[in-house]
Structures are given as C-alpha cells and as structure tokens.
A and B are shown apart, each in its own frame.
Chain A
C-alpha cells in the first residue's frame, strides 16, 4: 500500500520542527500583544503555556492512577 505523504517519517519530523516553532512564537507573541491580567500571575511571561502543559501532565497522570483502580476489560458487563 502506498504510504501517504503525511505519514512519512520525514514529514513527521518536519511537522515536529514546525510545531515547535509555532509554540515558541505563541509565547513570544506575548511581548507585542499584552495579556490583560485579571490576577497577578496571569501576566507572567509564558504563564498560560506553562500552566496548560503542567495541568495536562497532572490530568494524564491522575487518569493513569485512577485507571489502575477503575479499569476493567471491556466485556466486564457482558459476562
């Protein structure tokens, strides 16, 4: 089966580089576009970026932890 161009390793590598560039740009964009801070911490440089990243890590880890207790095979209720 012919590999779609989007799935080729070199495209994926380029996508990673491009995405990292965009991430840097969004943080730098805070310099010309002033973020109106309702709370003091909101105006810190890159606050939203760091907060978004860390809260996602926390949620994934929490889900993983809860999964240990809550997960059952998907035929659990069929038995």
Chain B
C-alpha cells in the first residue's frame, strides 16, 4: 500500500497529491503537463523539492515534517522512463545486471519473463524501441523493487509494437505481482492492466476509482483516440485448420475462438483483443448465429461515455469482464439496465491475437 501526501512546486503550478493506493497496478492518467511524470519522479526520490509524506507498506520514504527523505538508492522502487533510459555504454545484459540488488536469480527470472535472452550481448543503440522497453523493465524488475514506476512505457511505440509489449506488461503484473504506478494516455491500456486509476489535472487529483467508473468522466473518454479494447490474457489450446479456428483458453477457463493462427504454438501465451464496439448484445439466448463466441453475462455497470454507452458485463463463474460499447438507441430498445442477464456474441474475426 502506498500512502501519498506530496507537494512539489512545478513551473506554473504545484503538484499536490494526497491519497492512498492499494496494491496492484494503478494507472496515472490526465492531460499532458498535469504532473504525472513529476509524481513518479517524486516517489522515486529524484525530486528533492518534494515535501510531505510518502510511505510504502508502512515504511516511511519521505516525511519532511520529521526531516526524513530517503535517497533514491534506499527506496527500492523500480523506475522505467518513457524512453527506457538504458545506459548506452553498457550491453543489454550489463544494463539488466546493473542494480546493486540484482542477484543472479532475479536477473535470470526477469530475463525469462521479458524474453530478452537473445538480446543480452547487444548494445542499446542497436535495439528497437520495444526491445529497449523490455530491457528497461527487466533492469527494474531484477532489483526486486517494492513498487514499479512506469512512465508511458508504450507511448513511444507504434500501435503494432504496443500490442507486442502489452502481453509482457500483463505477465509482469500477474507473475511478479509488484505494485505499480503506470502513467498512460490510453484508456484501453488502463482497462487491460490497472485495477485503479488516479486522474490528475493541473497537479491535483481530479478523480480516483476503477478504470471503468472513470470512463464516464469526459476527461478519460477524450483521452482515448484509439478506442477501448478488451484485452484478455490466455493460452492457445487448439488449432482447427479445417474449421479455420484457433481456440484460446482464457485464464478463467472460458474458451474463445479466434481466426486460425497456426504460427502460435499450442500452450503459448497470447492476449486476445476484442474492440468494445465489436461485441454484440442480445436479451435472449442466441441460436443459429455465425458468431463462434457466445457468452451469458450480467450487466454489472452501465455509463454514458461521450456519444456512446459503455457496459461492463460480468460472465458467470468469474469469467472475464467484458467492456461493451453500444449506442444509446440500443440501450433504449433492449431496455438494458444494471443486473440484467444478457447474451454476448463475438465473431471469431473480431478477435485479434496479440
């Protein structure tokens, strides 16, 4: 748990953040210049002007009233800046091994999680943007940090690369279980990765809550040009070359049919991406439909997001939650309301494996 009560003068305004953040990944969102990077740097101990109090799992890192301000090296937080910040004079391997607490076991484990074993001999100048980010993440993880600070790790990458890195972030979240503050502009990323969102505006906390609840806030909807995607981690369970279908078993046991992707080995990890507007909602059980994926679900939340209505649908047996976008007209004609049972349909061609 992170207890924050920070004050940091910036050019033009002061950053004032007082909140508590429980474990898991928390997305830090807000318009450019709202103080997101400064917040991460203050937590890391890189902003000496920061005043107030900061505690991590009860350990005080900063308490200016009592004259306590731990230097960055004593805070045990892992920081990954937007441009990865690799040391250019060291090979990727030496970068990963750089931290003073990076013992051999932690290094090996971080290298395996991020699949960078083949890059270790190379120098940062010869790595692609996505490879740099993976090496930088491994370098931070190898020190076994108590908190990860990720500053838009995907922002510098194009859309295709972004999708290739996202599964690694999910894996870090699920396997290392290190709490993280994750700066992003992308609502889809926040929904896929974060359990909570801290929305900043001009240095103040404008809102804090679950990513879905904050979708209704115009600030977040406007910050999402790429739309909202359901990102569901799972494993390839079977290929049906005849039927043109690859089956993905989601973490919760639910099976999802995707277009044939025989280049993915059975058992390999994938993330199934489904755009929120590609999910069809029905009030009655569907029959005789070409869509391969049919689920029964319950409407858990419903909120107006811009010109659309966004639903959060829970599937029984604690399946994944689906974010679904429909028009207000559809809500009216189906008489959708919270608590209702609905049937969701997803064409296999709406499922992309990333």
A-B complex is real: no
| A interface with B by C-beta (< 8 Å) | none
